[in-house]
């Protein structure tokens, strides 16, 4: 057997069990933390046994937790493998024989690539069929009085995006960063009005939602027009304000139609459904961000490994704690930047492509340069 293949098998014999161990351990940790957070909601269940419901609740969500932890698993498993090889004095003879450390770490890279494919597969094929059932279990938790990123459409051509919906108050609202967005589409398929507001309350007697604190942008043939000429020939304003006493939006959308947990159904959809949602609701940047995220998020497993592995690859065992802290800081820096980019994209501060791909490309270059610093 060639020595390189023998070495790969030896490294994999440590790396694969470590991969499975960390995967299982992080899953248990994630489920335990979530159980502690939701234990009060489970205790309030009346129609089902709290224990059996909790088992079903977390079995359905295991793929979601797996998607969340997989980016970190290859790095943790690789770090443990390097520590074991170093503590047993097996890494020094390998390097002394002329073998590059980067070559020794090839199984780690392959493992991170496989994890990236696993993340993409979970998002595309595993989670979408489970989301309706996940939404049903979410709806059964009585304490879940708010839904987030709610997207609705009615037969009047109104397309509504509400960052927050309060089920008990029957009220839509912004989340402090984004307001409510209503796009009215005419029979010709073109925009007639775009409304931005901070609150919308349901009024059953009036047959619709009353909007407050916002503005109206008017369109003719899909092109925004100016209205409300100012006094003495002053320039016309590009939009008008919603009256102080509110603006009625006639709609057949009723509170009973907005199920608790309904926002969960659209959180993870397959690629074709995500494309269709973007085409239908072009005014909602969050949908475009979710579509782009399907391409960028799987890369996180590879980037985190390449960012952190050089810190743990040094053979000075006395600095293990310091190197571990640097590794965590590098990973945290990437994820914070990625989440901030997504948040800016959702608020339309930057394009969705820039918000998701920008941090990925930036840290990808840093990771490649950092990985190249591993001693040969």
Residue 283 resides in a domain: no
> What pLDDT was estimated at residue 356?
96
Residue 323 resides in a domain: yes
> What pLDDT was estimated at residue 318?
54
> What pLDDT was estimated at residue 321?
76
Residue 340 resides in a domain: yes
Q: Which domain-ending residue is among 259, 282, 301?
A: 259
- Tally of structural domains, the chain: 2
Per DSSP, the residues of 122-159 read IIIIIHHHHHHHHHHHHHH-TT--EEEEEEEE-TTSEE
Domain identity same for 119 and 179: no
Strands 208-220 and 240-241: antiparallel
Residue 266 resides in a domain: no
> What pLDDT was estimated at residue 265?
60
Domain identity same for 128 and 29: yes
Residue 118 resides in a domain: yes
Residue 278 resides in a domain: no
With beta carbons less than 8 A apart as the criterion, state whether 133 and 241 touch.
Answer: no
Coil, strand or helix at 32: helix
Q: What spatial distance separates the first Cα and last Cα of the chain, rounded to whole Å? A: 24
Residue 244 resides in a domain: yes
Domain identity same for 137 and 249: no
Distance CA 105, CA 82 (A): 9
> What pLDDT was estimated at residue 4?
60
> Quick one: residue 297, left, alpha or beta (phi over 0 = left, psi -120 to 50 = alpha)?
alpha
Domain identity same for 200 and 214: yes
How big is the CA angle at 219 (ends 214 and 224), to the nearest 5 degrees?
85
Reported residue count of the chain is: 376
Q: Which domain-ending residue is among 243, 259, 275?
A: 259
> What pLDDT was estimated at residue 7?
85
Domain identity same for 38 and 97: yes
Domain identity same for 217 and 326: no
Q: Look at residues 162, 160, 158, 130 and name the one whose alpha carbon lies nearest to residue 146.
A: 162
Per-residue pLDDT for the chain (376 aa), expressed as one digit of tens each? 555 678 889 899 999 999 999 999 999 999 999 999 888 888 888 778 889 999 999 999 999 999 999 999 999 999 999 989 888 888 878 878 878 888 899 999 999 999 999 999 999 999 999 998 988 888 777 556 788 889 999 989 999 999 999 988 999 999 988 999 999 998 888 888 999 999 999 999 999 999 999 999 988 876 776 655 545 444 444 678 999 999 999 999 998 788 766 666 677 899 999 999 898 888 889 999 999 999 999 999 999 999 999 888 764 445 667 777 888 898 999 999 999 999 999 988 999 999 999 999 999 999 999 898 887 6
Domain identity same for 114 and 192: no
> What pLDDT was estimated at residue 147?
85
Domain identity same for 176 and 76: no
Domain identity same for 95 and 127: yes
Domain identity same for 54 and 151: no
Domain identity same for 85 and 47: yes
H/E segment holding residue 55: helix 50-69
Residue 85 resides in a domain: yes
Could you tell me where the beta strands, DSSP code E, fall in the chain?
146-153, 158-166, 171-173, 180-185, 191-203, 208-220, 223-224, 240-241, 247-250
Q: Which domain-ending residue is among 235, 259, 283?
A: 259
Q: Which range marks the domain in which residue 216 is found? A: 146-259
Domain identity same for 120 and 169: no
Q: How many helices (H) and strands (E) does the chain have?
A: 13, 9
């Amino acid at each position: 057997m060639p020595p390189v293949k023998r070495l790969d098998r030896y490294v994999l014999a440590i790396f694969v069990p470590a991969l499975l161990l960390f995967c299982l351990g992080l899953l248990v940790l994630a489920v335990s933390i979530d159980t502690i957070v939701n234990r009060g909601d489970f205790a309030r269940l009346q129609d089902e046994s709290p224990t059996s419901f909790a088992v079903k609740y977390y079995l359905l969500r295991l793929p979601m937790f797996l998607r969340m932890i997989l980016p970190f698993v290859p790095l943790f498993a690789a770090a443990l493998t390097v520590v074991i090889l170093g503590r047993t004095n097996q890494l020094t003879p390998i390097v002394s024989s002329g073998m590059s450390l980067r070559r020794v770490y090839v199984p780690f890279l392959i493992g991170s690539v496989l994890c990236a494919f696993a993340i993409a597969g979970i998002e595309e094929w595993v989670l979408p069929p489970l989301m309706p059932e996940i939404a049903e279990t979410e709806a059964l938790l009585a304490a879940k009085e708010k839904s987030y990123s709610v997207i609705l459409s009615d037969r009047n051509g109104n397309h509504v995006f509400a960052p927050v919906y309060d089920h008990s108050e029957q009220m839509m609202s912004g989340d402090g960063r984004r307001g409510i967005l209503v796009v009215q589409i005419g029979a010709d398929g073109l925009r007639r009005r775009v409304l931005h507001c901070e609150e919308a309350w349901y009024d059953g007697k009036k047959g619709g939602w009353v909007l407050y604190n916002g503005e109206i942008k008017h369109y003719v043939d899909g092109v925004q027009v100016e209205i409300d000429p100012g006094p003495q020939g002053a320039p016309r304003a590009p939009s008008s304000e919603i009256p102080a006493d509110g603006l009625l939006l006639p709609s057949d959308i009723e509170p009973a139609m907005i199920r608790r947990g309904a926002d969960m159904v659209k959180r993870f959809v397959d690629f074709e459904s995500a494309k269709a949602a973007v085409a239908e609701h072009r005014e909602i940047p969050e949908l475009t961000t979710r579509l782009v995220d399907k391409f960028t998020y799987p890369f996180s497993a590879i980037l985190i490994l390449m960012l952190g592995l050089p810190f743990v690859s040094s053979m000075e065992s006395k600095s293990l704690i310091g190197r571990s802290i640097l590794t965590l800081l590098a990973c945290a820096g990437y994820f914070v930047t990625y989440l901030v980019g997504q948040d800016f994209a959702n608020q339309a501060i930057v394009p969705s492509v820039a918000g998701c791909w920008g941090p990925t490309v930036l840290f990808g270059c840093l990771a490649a340069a950092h990985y190249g610093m591993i001693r040969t």
